[in-house]
Amino acid sequence: MVVDKAPTQVSLTFSEKVAMNDDSLQVLDPKGAKVQVGSPVNVSGTTYAVKLKGGLAKGTYTVGYQVVSADSHPVAGAYTFSIGAPSQTVVSGVGTTAGDTAVGRLYSVGRYVSYAGFIVLAGGAAFVLACWQRGSGVRALQRLVVGGWLTLTAATLWLLLLRGSYTSSGRFGDVFDLDLLGQVLQTKTGAALVSRLLLLAAAALFIAVLFGAYNRREEAEEKRDLTFGLTIGGVVVAAGLAASWAMAEHASTGLQPGVAMPVDVLHLLAVAAWLGGLTALLVALYRAPADTPVEAAAVHRFSRLAFASVLTLVATGTYQSWRQLGSWSAFTETRYGQLLLVKIALVALLVGVAWISRRWTGRLADPATGAVRTERPEKEAVSAPASAGQEAAAGDGERAAQLARQRAAVDAARQKRQRDADPNRLGLRRSVLTEAGVAVVLLAVTTWLTQTEPGRTELDARAASSSSSSSSSSSSGALTLDMPFDTGGTDGKGLVRIDFDPARVGGNEMHVYVQRPNGRAFDVPEVKVALTLAARKIGPLPVTPDHITTGHWAASGVQIPMAGDWKVAVTVRTSDIDQVTVSKNAQIG
């Protein structure tokens, strides 16, 4: 865009409320010097503005922004405008989001690890309390749940340290910046992470009681009372931990947040009960001592718990999908919708494997097909000293103790062989292991989904952008054309937007913007434009724009020789071999 006079301020309108700091909105002259005055201010609603210095010289100015969306994700971008005429030099590299840096990738890993830790912690404890109370004395299960607590605690601290750099500079040097950390603690996400740490302190007490006093309690009535208390306390702590995600992410913004946040908490609890319980069952099947095998009744109880969790996930997931997408077309037209389709497919696969596990569980519970042995197998005869007197006569007490340990080891190995020889148990172990493998992939997709702009928001932003472009075209004579493309290769989908100003006969300024499906700027190896007026057999007239900044190309002095219905063809190349040409007709002149 070229303006005759220097503006006094620059304003940006977002599709939702955003969080800004003093450097979130910058305006740079052709040499890269800042020309804004003061900090950005909220003009009205979702519109933010910054004042400019007076007496700006002619040339091309770059507006860059880096803000944090209402659902906690960094959003960045840039565009240019020219005063009088475009200049030869333009600032590049402005408006790149910190989420695309190494810090951003580490932050994403931290989110994945935190989800995994929560699922193992909450689901493992639920498995012990609701399905296999004898498991509170199994060392492998104790290590699993404690490991989940340690993982979630470490990941939360990691996210808290990375948060400031993730939403601003993206530099490793800022990870330990105390000023940035102080700013993070004043945000919604910072408060959620601190709340999570406080709840983890309560979770530590819960784990200590579960694997300490609860495991040692033998009287039935006392153990029943303690089970009830631990169940209530565990549900409260787990719900609080789940709420630390719901209060800071997608559920806290947009449509019906008052309903969406409790639904999101319920969704996370159901995920933990199913996938975390599945992990605990897998550990119990493979690592439980031979004298304490997981009983068929415990497996059957978990099967019922998993079935209830799946029903809850379907109900809450359906509501979340409607809320975040808003239309059927958003499933295929937005990145969020495409990821959601992948998640649905993985859940369907997981349910299919779970059905197989349920069949194995039914066979375990059927004595006719070989139930799981809950009693200790009979010991084979093992040669031993005939009497204590004979051992004493041998005069070797240490040797007697060694023989006793050997007999115990032989007995344990025999029990393990008999347990593992059960074909039904072996089938259950394999199907549960397959479930766990699918669950790992599902968790990765879910984490990616939580970092993606909701489909409803993306479509609303596109509609607002189109409306704004149409309004600008009608008032200033500028022309904007949007053309989706798909080169067919990896990462080959996106949208190319081309602007002509003033879209009339003679010299025009042309800007080309390439975006990913989620609306972010997309740098591709090559963009070319060709203009054809078929009615007068003119063209194609090739135009090769210059790269300005991420996802932005421009060319000045583009000559339109006469008015007419021009075909504007844009060739986009996304790799060495993947390219496509898209076109659209428009009245120019």
**Rounded CA gap, 529 and 234, in Å?**
62
- The H or E element spanning position 558 is strand 552-560
The per-residue pLDDT for 157 is 95
The structure's pTM equals 0.66
**Beta carbons of 52 and 36 less than 8 angstroms apart:** yes
**Rounded CA gap, 527 and 513, in Å?**
10
Residue with the two structure tokens 């007239």: 541
- Tens-digit pLDDT profile for residues 378-415: 444 444 444 445 444 445 667 777 777 777 666 655 65
Which alpha helices (DSSP H) does 334-492 contain, by range? Answer: 335-364, 388-394, 397-420, 423-450, 455-476
**Rounded CA gap, 140 and 232, in Å?**
24
Closest to 329 measured CA to CA, from 446, 456, 453: 456
Closest to 241 measured CA to CA, from 274, 205, 197: 197
Core vs surface per residue 566-587: b (16+ CB within 10 A) or e = bbbbbbbbbeeebbbebeeebe
Provide the angle, in degrees to the nearest 10, between the axes of the packed helices 102-130 and 423-450. Answer: 140
Identify the DSSP state of 454: -
**Rounded CA gap, 587 and 589, in Å?**
7
- Tens-digit pLDDT profile for residues 490-514: 888 889 999 888 888 888 888 999 9
Amino acid at 465: S
- Tens-digit pLDDT profile for residues 179-209: 888 888 888 889 999 999 999 999 999 999 9
The per-residue pLDDT for 474 is 38
Task: Give Cα separations from 273 to 281, 303, 304 (angstroms).
Answer: 11, 11, 11
* DSSP state letters, 477-540: --EEEEEEEE-SSTT-EEEEEEEEES-SSEEEEEEEEEE-TTS-B---SEEEEEEEEGGGTEEE
* Cis-peptide into 293, omega within 30 deg: no
**Rounded CA gap, 364 and 112, in Å?**
35
The per-residue pLDDT for 416 is 57
**Rounded CA gap, 145 and 140, in Å?**
9
The count of other CB atoms within 10 Å of the CB of residue 266 is 18
The two tokens of residue 181 are 């950390």
- Tens-digit pLDDT profile for residues 29-64: 888 788 888 888 877 667 888 888 888 888 888 888
- Tens-digit pLDDT profile for residues 78-116: 777 888 777 765 555 555 555 567 888 898 899 999 999
